[in-house]
Amino acid sequence: MTDAQAERHRMVDEQIAGRGVRDLHVLEAMRKVPREAFVRPDLAESAYDDNPLPIGYGQTISQPYIVARMIEAAKIRPGERVLEIGAGSGYAAAVMAEIADQVHTIERHAALGRTAREHLQKAGYSNVDLHIGDGSLGRPEAAPFDAILVAAGAPSVPLALKEQLAEGGRLIIPVGATELTQVLMRVTRTAPTDWREERLESVRFVPLIGAQGWS
């Protein structure tokens, strides 16, 4: 086992399984994705630390635990189609691509999006499509999705995203009345015109900027 693999396994055991994440798909996927390939080269030594890291433009690659927690909450299963809003470094998209059939991810910062696309290509993730643009509107041309993950805090649940869920689909999104703190919500489409909302836990994300986010 290489040093990076050993660190990755330790991260999963201590920070993720150790904090109660039980979904075997998530644990397995996070044991595979080389997180060091998604951070700045000068921060590679910190790739398996228990915190977010800067990726430029005031944005971050999320703490590994929160990535695991959100994917577990979304109950992503093999064969499913997933949409992520906020590609950032591309890391969470890679973790989901280890489980799902197809991942679409959207990033509003063009430079971050280009770097994330390079990371994903170099790491061999051919089942991820990265789009640059406003993800608060989703990706209607590729809908419906079995799961939608939003990696940025919104003032309310965007209607566009609810409408792009398949029946039985799950939307995981941080929602808060201020840009600073949010509650992680799970919105499940239970029928064509019915959605169930659950409040999961308090979180802290950078803001979702866009037509159905913050201005």
Q: Which residues are catalytic?
A: 62
Q: Closest Cα partner for 66 from 125, 149, 139?
A: 149
Q: What is the contact surface with ligand SAM in residues (CB under 6 A)?
A: 59-62, 85-86, 88-89, 91-92, 106-109, 112, 134-136, 151-152, 205-206, 208-210, 213
Kindly state the smallest distance separating residue 119's Cβ from ligand SAM, in Å: 9
Contact 134, 113 (CB under 8 A): no
Q: CA 51, 117, 179, 18 torsion: positive or negative?
A: negative
Kindly state the smallest distance separating residue 30's Cβ from ligand SAM, in Å: 12
User: 190 or 211: whose CB is closer to ligand SAM?
Assistant: 211
Contact 116, 130 (CB under 8 A): yes
Q: How many CA atoms lie within 13 A of 150 on its CB side?
A: 39
Query: In Å, how far are 88, 98, 199, 206 from 155, measured between CA atoms?
Result: 20, 30, 15, 12
Name the pairing type of β-strands 145-150 and 194-203.
Answer: unpaired
d(CA 19, CA 109): 32
Kindly state the smallest distance separating residue 195's Cβ from ligand SAM, in Å: 21
User: 109 or 170: whose CB is closer to ligand SAM?
Assistant: 109
d(CA 84, CA 61): 14
User: 11 or 190: whose CB is closer to ligand SAM?
Assistant: 11
Q: Which residues contact residue 209 at a Cβ distance below 8 angstroms, ignoring those fewer than 6 apart?
A: 108, 136, 152, 215
Kindly state the smallest distance separating residue 113's Cβ from ligand SAM, in Å: 8
Residue 133, SS3? coil
Kindly state the smallest distance separating residue 193's Cβ from ligand SAM, in Å: 26
